[in-house]
Amino acid sequence: MHPMLTTAVKAARRAGSIINRAAQNLDLLQVSRKAHNDFVSEVDGAAEEAIIKVLLGAYPDHSILAEESGARGTSEYQWIIDPLDGTTNFLHGFPHYSVSIALMHRGVPTQGVVYNPSANELFTASRGQGAYLNDRRLRVSKRAQLGDCLIGTGFPFREFSHAPAYLAIFQDIMPKVAGIRRPGSAALDLAYLAAGRYDGFWEMGLSPWDIAAGCLLITEAGGLLGDLEGNATHMQTGNLLAGNPRIFAQLLQMIAPHLEKMPAPRRPADG
C-alpha cells in the first residue's frame, strides 16, 4: 500500500472509532443545523479534527479542504475530507454513512479511502493500482441491460433548484431498471458502484468532499464517470453520472433530453 494511502486509512479508522463510539449514545449528541436539512453534529467536528491531525502529522506541508473547517494551506498536495458523509442517517441510527478522504496532486486524485465504520468496510484506491474492499480487488459490474440494473441516486435535499430536472430524469429511468436506491451517503454509494453492488449512479449538487475518493475508486475499478453530459467537470459542478462502461453510455443517453431543464451552475460570485 502506498505510504500516503496508509496514512489516509489510519486517519479514516481513527474517525471511524469516534463515530462508532458516538453511535452508542446518539441521544447525548449536540446537533446543530447548518441550513435547511443540513445537520452537523459534534461528531462531524471531532472526526474531522482527528483526520486532519493524522494527515498533517505525517505531511505537515500538505493543504486541506474539509467539509466542516474549509480550506487551509497551499500545496500541490491537497487532502479532501468528509468526516461523516450521511450525518442525517447517523443521527437516526440508520447504519449507512461513511468517512471519505482523498488526496489530490495538482488537481488529480491519487489516493482515496471510503470507510463504512458500522460495517467495517474499507474501500481504498491508489491511482494506477486498482481499487480494493479490505483486501479484495474491486471491479465494476458487467451487466449490460438496463432492465437488470440497480441504480443508485441521491434526492435533492438542500438545493432544490435541481428538483424538476432531477424528477424528470428519475421518472424516465425508474421503469427501465431493476431498481433505484437512495441510501443517503454519496461517498458510500460510489464505493458500492466500484464494488459492483450498483451498476450506475447519478446525483446533482454534490460537493468535492462527497465524491473525490469515490470517483477514484470507480475509475480504478474500471468504471466511467463525468458530469451529466459526460464531461469531466463533475468536481466543479457537483453533477455526477457514473457506471460500468455500458450502463454509463445508456444513462447518458436517457439524461440528455432533460439537460435543458437544469439550472445553470452557480458561479462563486452568486455565493
DSSP H helix total and E strand total for the chain: 8, 15
Distance CA 169, CA 147 (A): 16
Whether residue 268 is predicted with pLDDT greater than 80 in this model: the reply is no
* Predicted confidence (pLDDT) per residue in 113-127, tens digit: 999 999 999 999 999
C-alpha–C-alpha distance, residues 166 and 162, integer Å: 6
CATH fold for domain 3-137 = Fructose-1,6-Bisphosphatase; Chain A, domain 1 (3.30.540)
Nearest to 210 by CA among 80, 76, 111: 80
Residues 6+ apart with CB under 8 A from 79: 8, 52, 55, 62, 63, 64, 65, 66, 101, 102, 103, 104
Per-domain residue ranges of the chain: 3-137, 146-270
Give the β-pairing of 31-35 and 38-41.
antiparallel
Residue 39 phi/psi, 5-degree rounding, is -100, 150
- Specify the CATH number of the domain 146-270: 3.40.190.80
Look at the chain and count its residues.
271
| End-to-end CA, the chain | 40
Q: What is the pLDDT of residue 35?
A: 67
Confidence category of residue 263, pLDDT binned at 50, 70, 90: confident
Tell me the pLDDT tens digit for each residue of 7-38. Answer: 999 999 999 999 999 999 888 888 887 766 56
pTM: 0.94
